[in-house]
A and B are shown apart, each in its own frame.
Chain A
């Protein structure tokens, strides 16, 4: 399916990441936004509130983030592609209904323009320390998809990707931006609507009589309905069977929770997107995401100039983690290096996957500013020894 032209602002623009993210959402067909203002994400909401009356849809500023996330889940069942945007403290409040979205298998997108934490932390300054919360912040076992952009252009492009993956896998997708990308202004090219692929909702073709709301297809994802289309379904946050009915039984729980996890992990190859550069004969591979992937570049250029064989993986998808690719590379390289603006949230996952087959050098940063490329360079040199 191609994009609805009403939502696509075709042309060359000079936008910050937050504004570009909104344009991506509108191009993807998002027509419902519920949110609560929070720095440094508010510009996404502001632009949506200005644009949506010209496109057809709803912007509602809710009373808090608990209500925002609940409204997003409700709106998705009402048949609109739906999103919210927030930052650290608001993200914490959204966890309750992110769990509901995961359990009800509700397509939706949650944008988190990350700042420094914990608690109120550094409201106006960069962080990447919500990565593990994005993955497992709500209670119980489930998997989500998380994507990080590194520029305003990517904020536009991958915002569309988030909506497409949310529809395809019926899962909440976390768009893990950061304050730097959110507030940096660059050229953003928005293509024609007929050049933008959007994933439609996977609506069932079955009649109401034959339809079971939680009967999975081969890809482990069930087909959906829109409330009001005559299916009269029930959906609940309780453990439920294929009819959607509550079933307080360990065997139903076993089947459901495994499927919620497997529908992401077993489709990981189709979901994961990485940009690799000179990884084939590398001794050292640097992996990074978001703003940190850009800060890493000078370090890599310098190391290559000094003759170190250093490869680079820019992670577009952070969750699910690219386990398969990392395991392949771990057999060949001396070490991995991962800078991130937290104290090791994704790096520890890297270490788990590498599992002692190569070295893993983490470069932590507590937030408030980006890494000094020189610090990354020094670790590359160390790792290459």
Chain B
């Protein structure tokens, strides 16, 4: 067994974690750690050179994920992980670019970029940790907060309606859409791998417990209690109609793989369409010179 400097056996995920940044900032029983473990496992199963994989995050608790992954990693601005990743991918098409961020970042402030990246079938993989709340800033209401749930800016309960994220990205053209909870570690890992292998815009929503803010404000117990809730209330239903995937406060959660289809990615369309129009005058994006 490989050993690290302290002669302690190396953890099997150490090669992909920035160990010099551990301990991380996440709360005990937060679901993000589980999502990261599943991601690293998926990366290890994914047959792709690790030096050619980049991770991009936005802002928030999940926005910190990029900083702990030992790959080229970028911690960008609030909501802009997807357009940053878009530039990164288009400038260097051999990269596998992964956006790992939270619901507030991707679906609220970054919502416009999310739908357009799905529409373009931009060749990136998006992992969205949905904890139903703005956690980093102290538990404010999000566009994913279920109706009736309490948050620090919906102190009498949320009267508003949350997004059904799989419906949103699926209707915009994503080629792979799945949802799992932080409890479904084997299925989530496999789904992440499938998403990584899928050309085009692939998307996995990960329902994750926020024990410090969401659970406490709503008197739902600890992170463990939320995992028990997922156990008792998750229904695996592959191919479920996207319209049926609304999440209601403390009601059953439909999980599974909902979309797995093929259509030309942005770069494929660029090459094919312009190649046809311009013939031998066309020079593909990949042949464009580097900055040095």
Given A232-B71, A235-B74, A237-B75, A56:B291 Cβ within 8 A: no
Q: Which residues 217-245 of A sit at the B interface, judged by CB distance below 8 A?
A: 226-238, 243, 245
Q: How far, in whole Å, are A228 and B93 apart by their CA atoms in the complex?
A: 10
In the bound complex, do residue B83 and residue A56 qualify as a contact, i.e. CB atoms below 8 Å apart?
Answer: no
In the bound complex, do residue A75 and residue B90 qualify as a contact, i.e. CB atoms below 8 Å apart?
Answer: yes
Q: How far, in whole Å, are A31 and B288 apart by their CA atoms in the complex?
A: 6
In the bound complex, do residue A74 and residue B291 qualify as a contact, i.e. CB atoms below 8 Å apart?
Answer: no
In the complex, which residue of chain A has the Cβ closest to the Cβ of B81?
Answer: A70
Encoded as 1 (CB less than 8 Å from any A CB) or 0, chain B from 67 to 94 comes to 1001111111101101111111111101
In the bound complex, do residue B51 and residue A96 qualify as a contact, i.e. CB atoms below 8 Å apart?
Answer: no
B186 CB → nearest A CB, Å:
28
Given A53-B278, A53-B282, A246-B67, A29:B289 Cβ within 8 A: yes
Choose from A54, A75, A77, A243 the contact partner of B281 (Cβ within 8 Å): A54
Residues of B within 8 A of A64 (CB): 112
A385 CB → nearest B CB, Å:
52
In the complex, which residue of chain B has the Cβ closest to the Cβ of A79?
Answer: B290
Q: How far, in whole Å, are A226 and B92 apart by their CA atoms in the complex?
A: 9
Q: Judge whether B161 is part of the interface by a CB distance below 8 angstroms.
A: no
B93 CB → nearest A CB, Å:
9
Q: Which residues 65-79 of A sit at the B interface, judged by CB distance below 8 A?
A: 66-68, 70-79
Q: Judge whether A55 is part of the interface by a CB distance below 8 angstroms.
A: yes
In the bound complex, do residue A234 and residue B73 qualify as a contact, i.e. CB atoms below 8 Å apart?
Answer: yes
In the bound complex, do residue A227 and residue B92 qualify as a contact, i.e. CB atoms below 8 Å apart?
Answer: yes
Q: Judge whether A351 is part of the interface by a CB distance below 8 angstroms.
A: no
Q: Judge whether A262 is part of the interface by a CB distance below 8 angstroms.
A: no
Given A56-B284, A233-B72, A67:B291 Cβ within 8 A: no
Q: Judge whether B292 is part of the interface by a CB distance below 8 angstroms.
A: yes
- Report the interface size for chain B: residues with CB under 8 A from the other chain: 51
B100 CB → nearest A CB, Å:
13
Residues of A within 8 A of B95 (CB): 78, 227-228
Q: Judge whether A379 is part of the interface by a CB distance below 8 angstroms.
A: no
In the bound complex, do residue A66 and residue B51 qualify as a contact, i.e. CB atoms below 8 Å apart?
Answer: no
Choose from A54, A97, A202 the contact partner of B283 (Cβ within 8 Å): A54
Given A31-B288, A57-B285, A67-B116, A74:B87 Cβ within 8 A: yes
Q: Which residues 4-26 of B sit at the A interface, judged by CB distance below 8 A?
A: 18, 20-21
Q: Judge whether A19 is part of the interface by a CB distance below 8 angstroms.
A: no
Q: Judge whether B178 is part of the interface by a CB distance below 8 angstroms.
A: no
Residues of A within 8 A of B75 (CB): 234-238, 246
A214 CB → nearest B CB, Å:
14
Residues of B within 8 A of A201 (CB): 290-292
In the bound complex, do residue B77 and residue A78 qualify as a contact, i.e. CB atoms below 8 Å apart?
Answer: no
Residues of B within 8 A of A34 (CB): 83, 86-87
Given A167-B291, A245-B67, A74:B91 Cβ within 8 A: yes
In the bound complex, do residue A230 and residue B51 qualify as a contact, i.e. CB atoms below 8 Å apart?
Answer: yes
Q: Judge whether A58 is part of the interface by a CB distance below 8 angstroms.
A: yes
Choose from A31, A54, A67, A202 the contact partner of B83 (Cβ within 8 Å): A67
Choose from B91, B274, B282, B287 the contact partner of A78 (Cβ within 8 Å): B91
B38 CB → nearest A CB, Å:
21
Q: How far, in whole Å, are A67 and B84 apart by their CA atoms in the complex?
A: 7
In the bound complex, do residue B87 and residue A229 qualify as a contact, i.e. CB atoms below 8 Å apart?
Answer: no
Q: How far, in whole Å, are A248 and B74 apart by their CA atoms in the complex?
A: 17
B4 CB → nearest A CB, Å:
16
Residues of A within 8 A of B196 (CB): none
Q: How far, in whole Å, are A99 and B290 apart by their CA atoms in the complex?
A: 24
Encoded as 1 (CB less than 8 Å from any A CB) or 0, chain B from 256 to 292 comes to 0000000000100010001000100111111111111
Q: How far, in whole Å, are A233 and B54 apart by their CA atoms in the complex?
A: 10
Q: Judge whether A200 is part of the interface by a CB distance below 8 angstroms.
A: yes
Q: Judge whether A142 is part of the interface by a CB distance below 8 angstroms.
A: no
Q: How far, in whole Å, are A232 and B67 apart by their CA atoms in the complex?
A: 11
Q: How far, in whole Å, are A57 and B95 apart by their CA atoms in the complex?
A: 16
Choose from B74, B83, B266 the contact partner of A236 (Cβ within 8 Å): B74
Given A53-B274, A57-B285, A237-B75, A80:B291 Cβ within 8 A: yes
In the complex, which residue of chain B has the Cβ closest to the Cβ of A3?
Answer: B289
A311 CB → nearest B CB, Å:
39
Q: Judge whether B113 is part of the interface by a CB distance below 8 angstroms.
A: yes
Residues of A within 8 A of B116 (CB): 62-63, 67
Residues of B within 8 A of A (CB): 18, 20-21, 51-52, 54, 56, 66-67, 70-77, 79-80, 82-92, 94-95, 112-113, 116, 266, 270, 274, 278, 281-292
Residues of A within 8 A of B (CB): 1, 4, 6, 29, 31-32, 34, 52-58, 60, 62-64, 66-68, 70-82, 96-97, 99-100, 104, 107, 167, 200-203, 226-238, 243, 245-246
A-B contact pairs, 22 of them (CB 8 A): A1-B292, A29-B291, A53-B281, A53-B283, A56-B285, A58-B270, A60-B86, A63-B112, A66-B113, A70-B83, A70-B86, A74-B76, A74-B86, A80-B291, A107-B291, A201-B291, A202-B292, A226-B291, A228-B72, A232-B70, A245-B21, A246-B67
